[in-house]
Amino acid sequence: MEHLLKENLDIKIFNHLFSEDESNYFFRSLLNEVAWKQETITMWGKKRILRRRVAWYGDSGKNYSYSGNLLSPITWNENLKRIKKKIEIVSSIAFNSVLLNDYEDGNVGMGWHSDDEKELGKDPIIGSVSFGVDRDFYLKPKIKSNNDRVKIMSSNGSLILMNGSTQHHWLHSLPIRKNINERRINLTFRTII
C-alpha cells in the first residue's frame, strides 16, 4: 500500500488488491451483468448523450443526484457484494452505494470535479476500484493559484482510497487518451448519509 499525504490530501493506493484472474473475471462479469445506461448531461437546458455508460447500485433509498440526474439504486448483485466486502476489509469503511463508469476506450474520460455532493456528507471517503486497461488519473487543488498536480496510475485490480478532506480541497479527472483502445470499468464506492 502506498500512502500519499499532502496538504488536505490523503490517498491510499492498493495496487493489485484483486489478482489478475479475479480482475479479469470481475471485468467481464460487470460488463455483462450491470444495467448500464448511457450517461446524459443537461447543458443550457438541453440534454446531451455522452459516450460514458454509468450505473448506480446500493442499499435501497440511497438516491444520488448529480449533473441534473437523479439516480435510484439497483440492488447489489453478488459480484458487487464481493468487491465491496474486500474493500471494506482493507479500508474499515462501510460503503452503501457505488457509481459504476464504463469507459469503452481512451476517447472516453471524465472532466475535473470532486465527489462533494451534499448526500456524501462533509468529508466523504471514496473507494475507487478499476478493472481493465490502466489509465492515468489526476488530482489538482481547487484553488486556482496552486499549480500542484498529483498523478496516479489507476491500474487493473487497484483500489484508490480518497480520504479526509481530499474531496473538499481537490478536484480529480480521468483525461482522454486517444492512443488507448481498450476498455476500463471503474467503481466509486460511496457512503450516502
Contacting residues toward ligand AKG, per CB under 6 A: 99, 101, 110, 115, 128, 137, 154, 172, 174, 186, 188
Question: Toward ligand AKG, which CB reaches closer, 108 or 145?
Answer: 108
Task: Tell me the closest approach of the beta carbon of residue 165 to ligand AKG, in angstroms.
Answer: 17
Contacts (Cβ under 8 Å, ≥6 apart) of 51: 38, 39, 104, 107, 108
Question: Toward ligand AKG, which CB reaches closer, 1 or 153?
Answer: 153
Distance (Å, whole) CA 138 – CA 4: 13
Task: Tell me the closest approach of the beta carbon of residue 184 to ligand AKG, in angstroms.
Answer: 7
Q: Which position's Cβ is nearest ligand AKG?
A: 186
Task: Tell me the closest approach of the beta carbon of residue 135 to ligand AKG, in angstroms.
Answer: 7
Task: Tell me the closest approach of the beta carbon of residue 158 to ligand AKG, in angstroms.
Answer: 10
Cα end-to-end distance, the chain, whole Å: 28
Q: 3-class DSSP state for residue 179?
A: coil
Question: Toward ligand AKG, which CB reaches closer, 163 or 188?
Answer: 188
Question: Toward ligand AKG, which CB reaches closer, 45 or 178?
Answer: 178
Task: Tell me the closest approach of the beta carbon of residue 49 to ligand AKG, in angstroms.
Answer: 18
Q: 3-class DSSP state for residue 134?
A: coil
Contacts (Cβ under 8 Å, ≥6 apart) of 13: 1, 2, 3, 4, 152, 158, 159, 160, 161
Question: Toward ligand AKG, which CB reaches closer, 145 or 170?
Answer: 170
- Number of helices (H), then strands (E), in the chain: 3, 14
